[in-house]
Amino acid sequence: MKIADTRKEFLDGNIAKPEFIRTMFDLHHSKLFDYAEYLHRTNIATIEIMDGQVLMTSRENRVKMICPPDFRVAPIEILNFLEYEASDSAMIMQLVTPDSCVLDIGANMGWYAINIAKTHPSCVVHAFEPIPKTYQLLVENIKLNGINNVVTHNVGFSDVEKDLTFFFYPEGSGNASSENLSEREDIEKIVCHVDVLDDFANRLTPRVAFIKCDVEGAELFVFRGGKKLLGRDKPIVFSEMLRKWSAKFGYHPNEIIALFDSLGYRCFTAKDGNLIELRKMDDATVETNFFFLHAQRHSSIIGSLLWK
């Protein structure tokens, strides 16, 4: 029951004043104190409640984010699991170097883009998000954190430039995809523009040093459209690969591994500050995020971080 519903019960005379006061505290207000006791365990330092808005600020990097009523956004994930992809995040911040050009493809509300920008203020981060509502949150979060080294783009990527239908449900924006991953009938359809990564990269002056890609199953098509960039700049790539999502698009994640292998890359997972090589994904693979490093260009990094 929502707060407004409990209050309506009182105003309608369905519950007496003493019961109303006790019910309001037990059902609603007591959660404030529950969170106050719980927060110290998590990477969320503060929760701010104001008219029509909830803001959460992380302990690390003091990243402040608007938190919509969405159960899969980074701040809520941190409340659930205490951290957000902690091992992968630490590896990203270690692999991104100062003064580099970073592409965040599928930036969502900006968790990674903002964290990278704050950790490495001399970097330039290009953040791409095709869903208009999510893109607006991305822009607002960047402004909220007072950073000026993130450039936002309301566009996605594929292997062909076109207008593409995305499937989106507001309470789960992190799963917005060009396939109906949730298989829900009440999902919202939004037409968004997708570009080709190689075409965008041709308009960039600096060499791309790092790419983060999380596009809910369509990663293979992003990389197919970026083969020239990958061959030319040889950036480090961090990508999500899920068998259940890629199956919706008719391919297996091993096709991504094979594509990178053809370009001289090796695939790794991150654990305890080290890289563990993955040659092929199988049914025993539990990891969902992977790093691709070029065998020659990044040989010193691989040598220093490879799990012994």
pLDDT value for 172: 56
pLDDT grade for 34, boundaries at 50, 70 and 90:
very high
136 Rama sector, left if φ>0, alpha if ψ -120 to 50, beta otherwise: alpha
Q: Is the pLDDT of residue 184 over 80?
A: no
> What is the pTM (predicted TM-score) of this model?
0.92
pLDDT value for 167: 78
Q: In the numeric block, which tokens belong to residue 96?
A: 């991104």
Q: Taking a C-beta distance cutoff of 8 angstroms, is the pair 267, 278 a contact?
A: yes
pLDDT value for 183: 62
| Mean pLDDT, residues 255-279 taken together | 97
| Mean pLDDT, residues 258-280 taken together | 97
Q: Taking a C-beta distance cutoff of 8 angstroms, is the pair 187, 169 a contact?
A: yes
Percent of the chain with pLDDT over 90: 82
| Mean pLDDT, residues 60-80 taken together | 92
Alpha helices in the chain (DSSP H): 3-11, 17-24, 30-38, 74-81, 86-95, 111-119, 132-144, 197-201, 219-224, 227-233, 243-248, 254-262, 299-305
pLDDT value for 185: 66
Helix axes 132-144, 111-119, angle to 10 degrees: 30
Higher pLDDT, 201 or 180: 201
**Helix (H) or strand (E) run with residue 292 in it:** strand 289-294
Q: Is the pLDDT of residue 188 over 90?
A: no
pLDDT digit string, tens, across residues 36-62: 999 999 999 999 999 999 999 999 999
CB atoms within 10 A of CB 198: 18
Q: Taking a C-beta distance cutoff of 8 angstroms, is the pair 107, 74 a contact?
A: no
Q: Is the pLDDT of residue 20 over 60?
A: yes
Closest CA to 125 of 146, 144, 153, 145: 153
CB atoms within 10 A of CB 283: 6
Q: Is the pLDDT of residue 171 over 70?
A: no
pLDDT value for 186: 67
Q: Is the pLDDT of residue 182 over 80?
A: no
Could you give the domains of the chain? Answer: 1-31 (no CATH), 86-305 (3.40.50.150)
| Mean pLDDT, residues 221-228 taken together | 97
What is the SS3 assignment for 144? helix
Catalogue the long-range contacts made by 133-141 (C-beta closer than 8 Å, 24 or more residues apart): 133/168, 133/170, 133/173, 134/108, 134/109, 134/173, 134/176, 137/66, 137/68, 137/109, 137/110, 138/107, 138/108, 138/109, 138/110, 138/113, 140/66, 141/64, 141/65, 141/66, 141/109, 141/110, 141/114
Q: Is the pLDDT of residue 287 over 90?
A: yes
What count of residues does the chain have?
Answer: 308
pLDDT grade for 199, boundaries at 50, 70 and 90:
very high
pLDDT value for 25: 97
Cα pseudo-dihedral 94, 98, 104, 109, rounded to 10: 90
pLDDT digit string, tens, across residues 99-158: 999 999 999 999 999 999 999 999 999 999 999 999 999 999 999 999 999 999 999 999
Q: Taking a C-beta distance cutoff of 8 angstroms, is the pair 236, 298 a contact?
A: yes
